[in-house]
Structure 1
Amino acid sequence: MALLRLATTLLGLVVIICHLTPTARAGIGYFWHVTDFHYDANLTGAGDGSCGNGLNKKNGLVGNNNNQQGHQNQHVVERFGSYRCDSTWQLVVSAVQAMKSITGEDIEFLLWTGDSAARWMAAPGDDGKSRVHDAVSAVSLLIRRYFPGTAVYPVVGGADVWPRGQTSFGNTAQPYHELANLWRVWLPPEAEATFKKGGYYVIEQARLQLHLIALNTNYYSEVNHATAENDDMDPGGQFAWFESILLKARRRRGTVYIFGHVPPGIYERHYSRQALHWFQDRFNRKYLNMVQSYSDVIAGQFFGHAHTDSFRVIYDDNGRPISWILLAPAVSPREPGLAEGTGPNNPAIRLIKFNTNDGQVLDYSQYYLNLTEANAIGRAEWRRAYNFTQLYKMPDVNPIALHNVAAAMLTHPNVFQNYYTVNHMLRDGLPYCGSLCRQVHFCSATQIDYADYDDCIVTALMASSRSKASSWKNHFTSTCWRLILLVIPFQFVLGNKQL
């Protein structure tokens, strides 16, 4: 009898404990998104003026850092790197250590969206291939060391193959076989097979009902001459494969995350008359059509490459926001070299919170390293820059929320200033962003199709022109009335004198 009472008491305690256990975490998961390490093995951290092997010098960055944060010189010990250059090994290690310190291995997975090698030019007699392989290998081993039990899902960046960014549609096997050997520990056999074929794969997480689609968007890049000079609409057969995975997810009532290196759309920091396109036009339209057709199963899209903290909203034919893209800033502090004067960033890593039941992204926390401070004190102190929901006062990350943020960027100066500051990852000395600059950011965020982007810019310029003309007309009319009101009394006085 005593044993029965004891068993009953223990059962009651178990029930109470289960009810007291917070249920808020049930269905809540986290994953890291890290991108663009750009590790340069030639940097010693001692103020290397050459930034590796000359690419930075070619772009006019060396010895001309008056516009860079901190105005560091070659005599400063830059242990964690420079705004003029790509990442030192100390910076790469500190980023991975920060991820481990913040979450441990209590994450569902880690998305790694490419460009682990630096953007050097090849040295005389060196084709760069071995240097690229060594850099990717070093970062891969580092991540394995700090996250030995974590699922890591990498994608191919333009700097991870040689020649840089040139992903051929005809002979894809060699570079992907080498990368597959590095990443075999993370890729199941089915994923490894498609990766060797064309650098893409899918991870089907049955427990989460989530399909993680890793795309090789180097095929579609504007700077990929191998595909630009060929009229093939589906290099590597990736689009056909992509649609088959989306269709499978729909039939299984699952959800999909899409991640890759080069994003679709427009670069938001390029303000000249000619927009900087990421994809070749035909691929950009095809990707956009694919997302519009399967937006019901796509729970999120994650890309790197731009080095900026930004987002994109995708709409249906009726103008309803139906999907979104998050662009994560880089670990590398150096400006991406994609356009003149775009400026560097502080190094960054991103932690994403999501609902494991349906894939809905609930929030994300952006972490950064103040590079000037880190070099001055000799240690890396990674801090949280912001929370998405707190910064923008939105309930979670969804198409309507991001649409509202984009709209507010044009009507609420404080919203745009918040966005613009984190877009550069809290770098000091940001350039002034006038009306055209703000409009480019808005149009880039809301118009992925190139023709629609151009229309967005033209509409804004015309509206601005009409506003200026109207303002001038109102000013002219007001001035005329003032003159009339001044003349009337004199007329009255003169008239009385004549009488």
Structure 2
Amino acid sequence: MQFCRLLFFALFLKVANSDVTSKTNDIISRLTYEINNWVTIDEKSEEFQQLIHNLSLPTNLLRKDWRSFDGENSENICIICKSVLNTFIEYRRQGMSEEDIKNKMIKICTLLKLQSPQVCDGVITINLPIILYIIDSKPNLTADTICGVLLESPFCPLDNNEFNWIVNIDDGPSKWIKPEESNETINILQITDIHYDPKYEPYGNAYCNEPTCCRKGQNDTNTSDKVAGYWGDYHYCDSPWHAIIDVLDHVIAEHQNISYVYFTGDIIDHGIWETSIKGNIESLNKSYLQIYETFKNIPIYPILGNHESHPVNQFAPRTITNDEISTQWLYKLMADLWIDFGWLPESTRSTILQGGFYTVSLKKGFRIIALNNNVCYSYNWWLLYQPQDPDGQLQWLADTLLQAEVDEEYVHILAHLPPGNTDCQTTWKSEYIKIVNRFAHIIRAQFNGHTHKDELQLIYGSDDNSKISNVAWNGGSITTYQNVNPNYKLYTIDSKNYEVKDFENWIYNLTLANINLDQRPLWYKSYSFKEEYGLSDLTYDSLQTWLFKLMNDEKLLNRYHGNYFKQAEPSLTEECDAKCMRAFICHVIVNLGDHEIKCE
């Protein structure tokens, strides 16, 4: 009887899902037809206008990541994606010019309120050459595949065998290194996500309808009383130069015993509709020179953020040499800067030029592996062109870790995107986690940025889904984008086995800084991880105990929630009950099994 009920329920779900899919496909067909008709005769039918009205994004979703949508919004963005791409892929293959496609796509972007007219114009103008190159090069590429990569949702699943691939990972028994412990420690500073905005305008417009505010030229649209603070702003605003200088000056004055600096990416601002290679080069040169002059003889180990490229998120394979769409300018610039400043040896140049990644041995028994995992970003159009292990980076990672194991080296991995980040394409992410699980015994820690939040991720083993195999620490951000205070982290590291013994988080209150303009921001240590959560150490057993407490102790969870947003008042005044806070626990857990069950 129980089996019959389950079978009936499964059939019911299948039929219900089939009805939903049929309805979605019907709307896609109708909208595709109407867009075709509009392109042909330049007239909007009643049906077209009604569909546009029904599908247009609410204003409060303009800045949200499409992959974070659920329910009706997720369905609508999938319908928009497939309908628009169905139309323009077909027109391109019939010979429509880039200029005509650009003009039509800007209009449809504006009609659907995907962004403001200015942002639609800028984003489409700078991204279209790459998209058309890929469409022209891949005659079998479909709207279903493109939208599946971009969204990977129940409404837009990715069903293409090109994206099913594996890395050759050594399956031999792990070669364990006897972990030596020491009373001696070293200090490693992590700074991340500067997001320097050359257009930042103190007392400018902090409340605009574009992806980034507080910028010169936006004052005429300021209809509110929200103006940009001198030191930065909690709204969708990036960092003024003087705020970046202040962070660096404070760090070097406050901490005299830094052994290494990990810089985990993102120098460029969020003005994604008006970036340029020239502008990015100026900001990168200026920022890295300042970092070099601040830390002088302290070794820096930098990586690329997803914003460093132009357009944002675009990391072309090495085989793409066309200057208009290639990423070689960025890789060459980074190789020159990082090596010329004396941070990296000449031996790293070849892999930096290959794809923005490198490895270096700091001393006997200790190695850094620096990844450019921005290639896995789902909005990196080049994933459609080269789906399988872009630039061979993951295979290189597996091979490098195998050699490190043979050489009895401990490893720190630096990567911009955290290992469980939903922005990373699923296959790349799962293969990465498999590699980490195989070599978890020599990977002492991972260090990430990207999210701007003070958080960590616990990676669970492939064989034993109840045990932590590795931990990834997030550095937070220098930028206050969006609704966070600026911060940096100082890690205490065992000098023998290179595990993280503890870290201090340093922040300042942006509201107070912007009120007290006659003095520099008041930096303070907000907490040490061990002291804050009452831990004797940061072993995996202790972190497992901490996670269990987090699930069952509302006060502890509330404390983690406050630290997550770096005590920024605008985030903490937003209503978030116990159920809402529990979602933050899910951000901590990374595994290849049933993520939802472990969250529960």
1:118 and 1:432 map into 2 onto residues whose CA distance is 29
Matched, 1:433 2:576: yes
Counting only pairs closer than 5 Å after superposition, residues 90-169 of structure 1 correspond to structure 2 as 90-104=242-256, 106-123=257-274, 128-169=276-317
SS of 2:286's equivalent in the other structure is helix
Q: Which amino acid aligns with 1:250?
A: E
Task: Report the counterpart of residue 514 of structure 2 in structure 1.
Answer: 375
CA contact (8 A) 2:477 2:487 kept: yes
Task: Report the counterpart of residue 36 of structure 2 in structure 1.
Answer: none
Task: Report the counterpart of residue 467 of structure 2 in structure 1.
Answer: 320
Matched, 1:261 2:425: no
Segments of 5+ residues of structure 2 without an aligned counterpart are: 1-180, 321-326
Task: Report the counterpart of residue 86 of structure 1 in structure 2.
Answer: 238
Counting only pairs closer than 5 Å after superposition, residues 24-63 of structure 1 correspond to structure 2 as 27-44=184-201, 46-49=202-205, 54-56=210-212
Q: Which amino acid aligns with 1:117?
A: I
How far off is 1:178 after superposition? 1.6
How far off is 1:432 after superposition? 2.8
2:311 and 2:386 map into 1 onto residues whose CA distance is 21
2:445 and 2:500 map into 1 onto residues whose CA distance is 7
1:364 and 1:422 map into 2 onto residues whose CA distance is 13
CA shift in 2, pair 1:121/1:410, >3 Å: same
Residue in structure 1 matching 2:226, options 65, 73, 86: 73
Task: Report the counterpart of residue 453 of structure 1 in structure 2.
Answer: 595
CA shift in 2, pair 1:53/1:331, >3 Å: farther
Task: Report the counterpart of residue 505 of structure 2 in structure 1.
Answer: 366
How far off is 1:41 after superposition? 0.7
CA contact (8 A) 1:324 1:402 kept: no
How far off is 1:456 after superposition? 4.3
1:221 and 1:440 map into 2 onto residues whose CA distance is 23
CA contact (8 A) 1:218 1:261 kept: yes
2:537 and 2:381 map into 1 onto residues whose CA distance is 40
1:121 and 1:224 map into 2 onto residues whose CA distance is 13
Report the more deviating stretch, 27-36 or 436-445. 436-445
Task: Report the counterpart of residue 345 of structure 2 in structure 1.
Answer: 188
CA shift in 2, pair 1:380/1:322, >3 Å: same
1:255 and 1:191 map into 2 onto residues whose CA distance is 19
1:210 and 1:265 map into 2 onto residues whose CA distance is 25
CA shift in 2, pair 1:454/1:231, >3 Å: farther
How far off is 1:436 after superposition? 3.4
CA contact (8 A) 2:184 2:494 kept: yes
SS of 1:401's equivalent in the other structure is helix
Q: Which amino acid aligns with 1:137?
A: N
CA contact (8 A) 1:324 1:398 kept: no
SS of 1:130's equivalent in the other structure is helix
CA contact (8 A) 1:314 1:448 kept: yes
1:72 and 1:423 map into 2 onto residues whose CA distance is 28
Counting only pairs closer than 5 Å after superposition, residues 290-369 of structure 1 correspond to structure 2 as 290-316=435-461, 317-318=463-464, 319-335=466-482, 344-369=483-508
How far off is 1:395 after superposition? 2.3
Counting only pairs closer than 5 Å after superposition, residues 180-219 of structure 1 correspond to structure 2 as 180-184=335-339, 185=341, 186-207=343-364, 209-219=365-375
- The size of the alignment, in residue pairs, is 397
CA contact (8 A) 1:53 1:121 kept: no
How far off is 1:278 after superposition? 2.4
SS of 1:286's equivalent in the other structure is helix
Q: Deviations over 1:373-399 (max 9, x none)?
A: 111112211110100010011123232
SS of 1:158's equivalent in the other structure is coil
Q: Which amino acid aligns with 1:179?
A: M
Identical aligned residues as a percent = 23
Q: Which amino acid aligns with 2:347?
A: E
Q: Deviations over 1:192-234 (max 9, x none)?
A: 2211211000110124x2111100011111221211x146321
Q: Deviations over 1:72-116 (max 9, x none)?
A: 832x7x221111210011111111112101213x22110000001
User: RCO (CA 8 Å, sep 6+): is it higher in 1 or 2?
Assistant: 1
CA shift in 2, pair 1:300/1:72, >3 Å: farther
Counting only pairs closer than 5 Å after superposition, residues 454-493 of structure 1 correspond to structure 2 as 454-456=596-598, 460=600
State the TM-score, normalizing by the size of structure 2.
Answer: 0.63
Residue in structure 2 matching 1:233, options 370, 373, 388: 388
Task: Report the counterpart of residue 469 of structure 1 in structure 2.
Answer: none
Q: Which amino acid aligns with 1:96?
A: L
CA contact (8 A) 1:311 1:445 kept: yes
How far off is 1:245 after superposition? 1.5
CA contact (8 A) 1:51 1:86 kept: no
CA contact (8 A) 1:54 1:121 kept: no
CA contact (8 A) 1:32 1:350 kept: yes
CA shift in 2, pair 1:400/1:223, >3 Å: farther
Report the more deviating stretch, 347-356 or 371-380. 371-380
Q: Deviations over 1:102-156 (max 9, x none)?
A: 213x221100000011110344xxx522221211211111111111101001101
CA shift in 2, pair 1:258/1:377, >3 Å: same
Q: Which amino acid aligns with 1:160?
A: E
Q: Deviations over 1:22-54 (max 9, x none)?
A: xx996310010000000001113x212168994
SS of 1:263's equivalent in the other structure is coil
How far off is 1:57 after superposition? 5.2
Segments of 5+ residues of structure 1 without an aligned counterpart are: 1-23, 64-70, 267-276, 336-343, 461-499
2:382 and 2:356 map into 1 onto residues whose CA distance is 15
CA contact (8 A) 2:193 2:479 kept: yes
- After superposition, the CA RMSD in angstroms is 2.3
Residue in structure 1 matching 2:429, options 280, 284, 295: 284
How far off is 1:403 after superposition? 2.1
2:276 and 2:469 map into 1 onto residues whose CA distance is 42
How far off is 1:244 after superposition? 1.6
SS of 1:55's equivalent in the other structure is coil
2:569 and 2:460 map into 1 onto residues whose CA distance is 34
2:272 and 2:430 map into 1 onto residues whose CA distance is 32
CA shift in 2, pair 1:57/1:43, >3 Å: closer
State the TM-score, normalizing by the size of structure 1.
Answer: 0.75
1:386 and 1:72 map into 2 onto residues whose CA distance is 34
CA shift in 2, pair 1:50/1:428, >3 Å: closer
How far off is 1:439 after superposition? 2.9
